[in-house]
Structure 1
Amino acid sequence: MKTSPLDGLRNYTQQATEGSYRNKGVQDFKNILDKARLERQDDKKLKEACQELEAIFLHKMLQQMRAGIPNGGLIEESYASKIYKDMLDEQYSKLIAKSHGSIGLADMLYQQLKRDINRET
């Protein structure tokens, strides 16, 4: 049985959408990937989906970085402040993923997926 690098990604997205971890970005990525495999001409959407997946990765990274900062000080952090910081980190991650100087995960993923999609047909 021949396996493809996409098999691991399919398993991950299936677990992410079926399990307790429900992330709209991962589901959107799965849908765009399936559509790109069928049409083979939707390069722009595939690139955007890869950038969105990179943004999800960056958001998780920023969350962990922020969790490493010790809490303390004179003013206690409110629930609204925590939500604001999380939303701010999400926007930062989207901007970083779409910028020219991003970490490159989206570009590598796009090139690999594009090559695998072309090889399947």
Structure 2
Amino acid sequence: MMRVRDLKTILVPLELSGRTFNIAFDFNCMCELDEVYGDFDIAIKAIDSGKGRLKAIRALIYSAIKPRYEDITLLEVGDLLTDVMRDTKKAEYLMQQIDKALTLSMPDKEEVGE
């Protein structure tokens, strides 16, 4: 379970269709995700289970990009992801960068202390 108060803002580069975005799964990202999708944990479960996976991936990527690139739209992110999802290597890279950004945004176990 993700706790917003424990999140860190550590930017990770994400290249989509020749554009590089610096993304973070921080408080701003979680606010965007609440707006366009709903609960973070539900989005992750959808990605893991496959049910509603594409909508959840698009919402998660959009939410990570939007705070630092205000003009981007959900449809633009979908267009960028269309190119990525056709290419296995690009899709693997996308998932690696998501995992990296998620890992870096989480507190170290020692910091939580609960």
TM-score calculated relative to the size of structure 2: 0.33
Bigger Rg, which one: 1
Structure 1 or 2: larger strand share?
2
